[in-house]
Amino acid sequence: MSAGADVAPPWGADSEYAALLDVLLCPPDNFGWLRTSVISKATLDSGRVFEPETARGQHAEMVAAYEGAGVNVHFLEADPHLPYQVFARDSSIATPAGPVVTQLAQPWRRGEYAPVIDFYQRHEIPIHAMITAGTLEGGDVIIVEPGKVLIGNGEERTDQAGAGQLARIFEASDWEVRIEPIPGHFVHIDVLVSILAPKLAAVCVEAASGGLVRWLEAAGFEILDVSVEDAFGLGVNAISLGRERVISTRRSEDLNAQLRARGLEVLDPDLEMFTLGGGGAHCLAQPLRRKRVAA
């Protein structure tokens, strides 16, 4: 290696906003809407029909956005028994010490541990820990910034035992942990909160607790308020690529406008087939490796 050459950081992340180097996705081959949440139930009750070809095209548009931004894209092996595996955020978590494999709550998602463990083993990525004490899903974990993590506890997905086990993992490294109760109909905390740049958070203020908003503000975060209606349309559920770039969805018009007004570049693939099923850009992707904020 030549002198001065860049050395890749270890697998994992210590923030939601540093430059994203590697991301884990899952092909939408087996995806279809199930009655898993208030959002997907409303979609099914409306009479909308799932369009597999449209979903594949929209997913490909998202993949192209990552690749165009210089992110290395990796894929889970799609399992025909796991229709919601496409939401790759939930089966593991990128921590500073490496991936933590989660424990999903719903019967049709519990098997997702198998392909994600297989992925890490095949790529020789050491697994830091596995959640065994209870249920915990990746959409309920937000690495706010180095030394600070937010864990959602809605009981329907992430229960107190699972949240507590992850909290102890972070606390062992002297991180501040906030376990935040959330209304069950919001599914995961990333429907209510996303960290999109240093000291910049999108929050559904009306639905989030005042304590959570004050906690973020006390840490110096500017809050971009997103309405409840937009939050249910996955309007908060965006993911930072780092360097003031964000992947959102085309229909998240309010958040996208707020971000652009602050000078951020917004990539906005149309992900309607997925948002109608209950997940947005943040849900569809698990960061594998980001540049480290902390030296």
pTM, entire model = 0.95
Which residue, chain included where needed, has tokens 């799609």?
Answer: 78
**Torsion angle of alpha carbons 244, 148, 117, 158, nearest 10°?**
-110
Q: Is 239 helix (H, G, I), strand (E, B) or coil?
A: strand
Sign of CA dihedral 121, 125, 126, 130: negative
H-type alpha helices, 152-207: 160-171
Per-chain mean pLDDT for the chain: 96
Amino acid 1: pLDDT: 36
For domain 20-290, the CATH architecture is 5-stranded Propeller (3.75)
Amino acid 295: pLDDT: 57
How deeply is 81 buried, as exposed, middle or buried, from its count of CB atoms within 10 A (0-12, 13-18, 19+)? exposed
Contact 146, 173 (CB under 8 A): no
How remote is the C-alpha of 60 from its chain's centroid? Answer: 18
User: How would you write the pLDDT of the chain (295 residues) with one tens digit per residue?
Assistant: 334 446 778 999 999 999 999 999 999 999 999 999 999 999 999 999 999 999 999 999 999 999 999 999 999 999 999 999 999 999 999 999 999 999 999 999 999 999 999 999 999 999 999 999 999 999 999 999 999 999 999 978 999 999 999 999 999 999 999 999 998 889 999 999 999 999 999 999 999 999 999 999 999 999 999 999 999 999 999 999 999 999 999 999 999 999 999 999 999 999 999 999 999 999 999 999 999 997 5
Amino acid 6: pLDDT: 63
How many whole angstroms separate alpha carbon 78 and alpha carbon 90? 15
How remote is the C-alpha of 273 from its chain's centroid? Answer: 17
